[in-house]
């Protein structure tokens, strides 16, 4: 089902040029489009079975993509590079977008096939997207549950600066701070690539800590729970002490929870720091140095002043926020919709342009 979206709000003058969108979703019109990029030994598996996933990984979307993102070519939304350039980049003055591809590999049970498919997705992106549209950058798909294969893929592509980060799902098999994932972080730090965790995706774990939810709406609002657990794990397991240059990007998980999480971690650390002697500083300091947050879904409080109060509770908040549209999904945000509650032009400029340019080393 396709949702009917409201008409875009008229952009403000300072939201029209040079924007960086850190969450643009590209996909294939049909899985067979990956076939030229997959080794022949996997062709039958790709054609007849496709990626195998853990059962119960998530709920099907009630709504799919925004009505005005369907290409005139008849292809799926997000699968036509030329149309995306016109419909999204040109339309909103986006200088760069960071692609986050449809990525089934994290939840695949066949790890050899997952590694082959990750390589195919990345080669498909380079040939069909990055080579055709210079305003696009992309995320490296990796089989996170096979760290050796993930590291090999990161090192294969890490020197191609059109790939600007490494993609995790929102719910990997274990919390992200666990040592099984450390080789991935070591490779990312070595090549100066941020680690990005995108909402949803699963290795069979439920969205809640107590089992499976009853409704899609629970799944839809639940990613903030998962990313807070993963950030806490990264800090408390000592990942940022071990890899002091590593940066973490939270995408499509909201951000209003950040001040409360920082407070809670600091209070717990004050009482229990003897348990984690490798965490040498208050957790909020690691958060402030290493964590970036994408705007979508942007928080929209009932009163405008509440948004400002939230920002005031986290010093430097606007230095860590990145504009994200979630194009072409039904619940995405335009640049004007994402930042209307920011109080001054300098703050909007940071969120729409400067923070992402600095993080991803964009011209």
Give 274's contacts (C-beta < 8 A, 6+ positions apart): none
* Average pLDDT, integer, range 12-18: 61
Residue 305: what pLDDT?
86
| pLDDT for 341 beyond 80 | no
1 pLDDT more than 80: no
Strand partners, 197: 168, 250
Identify the pLDDT of residue 308. Answer: 85
pLDDT at 13: 45
Output the CA angle 260-264-265, nearest 5 degrees: 120
β-strands 291-294, 19-24 pairing:
unpaired
Which of the pair, 305 or 194, is modelled with greater confidence? 194
Give the three-state DSSP class for 254. Answer: coil
Is residue 218 pLDDT above 60, yes or no? yes
Q: Give the pLDDT score at 2.
A: 40
Q: Per DSSP, what are the bridge partners of residue 248?
A: 195, 291
What pLDDT band is residue 92 in, cutting at 50, 70 and 90? very high
In tens, the pLDDT along 223-271 reads 888 999 999 999 999 999 999 999 999 999 999 999 999 999 999 999 9
Question: Residue with structure tokens 């036509």?
Answer: 80
The region of weakest confidence among 4-8, 103-107, 335-339 is 4-8
157-197: per-residue pLDDT in tens?
999 999 999 999 888 889 999 999 999 999 999 999 999 99
Note the pLDDT of residue 11.
46
Instruction: Give SS3 for 159.
Output: coil
Collapsing DSSP to helix, strand or coil, 179 comes out as helix
At 286, the pLDDT band (50, 70, 90 cuts) reads very high
Reply yes or no on whether the pLDDT at 6 is more than 60.
Answer: no
Q: Smallest Cα–Cα separation from 96: which of 11, 25, 13, 24? A: 24
pLDDT tens, position by position, 30-69: 988 999 999 999 998 888 887 776 655 566 666 678 888 9
Q: What is the pLDDT of residue 61?
A: 63
Has residue 81 got a pLDDT over 80? yes
- Is pLDDT above 70 for 323? yes
Mean model confidence pLDDT for the chain? 89
According to the model, what pLDDT value does residue 9 have? Answer: 41
In the 8-state DSSP scheme, what is residue 213?
-
Average pLDDT over residues 3-15: 44
Average pLDDT for residues 142-160, to the nearest whole number? 97
Give me the pLDDT at residue 313, please. Answer: 87
Mean pLDDT value of segment 211-227: 84
**Sheet containing 321-322: which strands, arranged edge to edge?**
19-24, 94-99, 136-141, 163-171, 195-202, 248-251, 291-294, 321-322
Which pLDDT band holds residue 340 (cuts at 50, 70, 90)?
A: confident
Question: Which pLDDT score, from 0 to 100, does residue 45 have?
Answer: 87
């Amino acid at each position: 089902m396709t949702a009917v979206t409201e008409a875009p709000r008229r952009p403000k003058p300072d939201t029209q040029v040079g924007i960086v969108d850190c969450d643009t979703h590209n996909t294939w019109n049909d899985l067979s489009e990956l076939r030229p990029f997959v080794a022949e030994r996997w062709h039958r598996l790709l054609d007849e079975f496709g990626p195998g996933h853990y059962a119960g990984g998530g709920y099907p979307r009630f709504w799919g993509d925004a009505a005005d993102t369907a290409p005139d070519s008849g292809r799926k939304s997000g699968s036509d590079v030329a149309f995306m350039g016109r419909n999204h980049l040109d339309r909103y003055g986006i200088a760069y977008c960071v692609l986050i591809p449809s990525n089934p590999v994290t939840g695949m049970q066949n790890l050899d096939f997952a590694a082959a498919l990750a390589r195919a997705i990345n080669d498909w992106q380079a040939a069909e997207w990055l080579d055709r549209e210079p305003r696009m950058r992309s995320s490296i798909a990796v089989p996170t549950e096979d760290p050796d294969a993930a590291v090999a893929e990161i090192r294969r592509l890490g020197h191609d600066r059109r790939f600007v980060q490494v993609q995790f799902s929102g719910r990997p098999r274990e919390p992200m701070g666990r040592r099984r994932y450390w080789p991935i972080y070591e490779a990312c730090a070595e090549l100066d690539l941020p680690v990005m965790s995108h909402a949803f995706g699963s290795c069979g774990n439920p969205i809640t800590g107590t089992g499976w939810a009853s409704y899609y709406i629970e799944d839809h609002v639940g990613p903030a729970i998962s990313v807070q657990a993963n950030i806490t794990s990264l800090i408390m397991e000592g990942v940022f002490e071990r890899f002091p240059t590593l940066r973490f990007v939270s995408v499509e998980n909201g951000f209003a929870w950040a001040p409360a999480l920082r407070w809670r971690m600091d209070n717990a650390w004050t009482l229990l720091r003897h348990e984690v002697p490798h965490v040498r500083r208050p957790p909020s300091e690691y958060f402030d140095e290493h964590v970036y947050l994408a705007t979508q879904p942007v928080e929209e409080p009932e009163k405008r002043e509440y948004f400002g109060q939230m920002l005031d509770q986290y010093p430097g908040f606007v230095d860590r926020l990145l504009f994200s549209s979630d194009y072409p999904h039904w619940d995405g945000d335009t640049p004007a919709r994402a930042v209307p509650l920011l109080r001054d032009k300098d703050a909007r400029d940071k969120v729409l342009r400067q923070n992402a340019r600095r993080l991803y080393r964009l011209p």
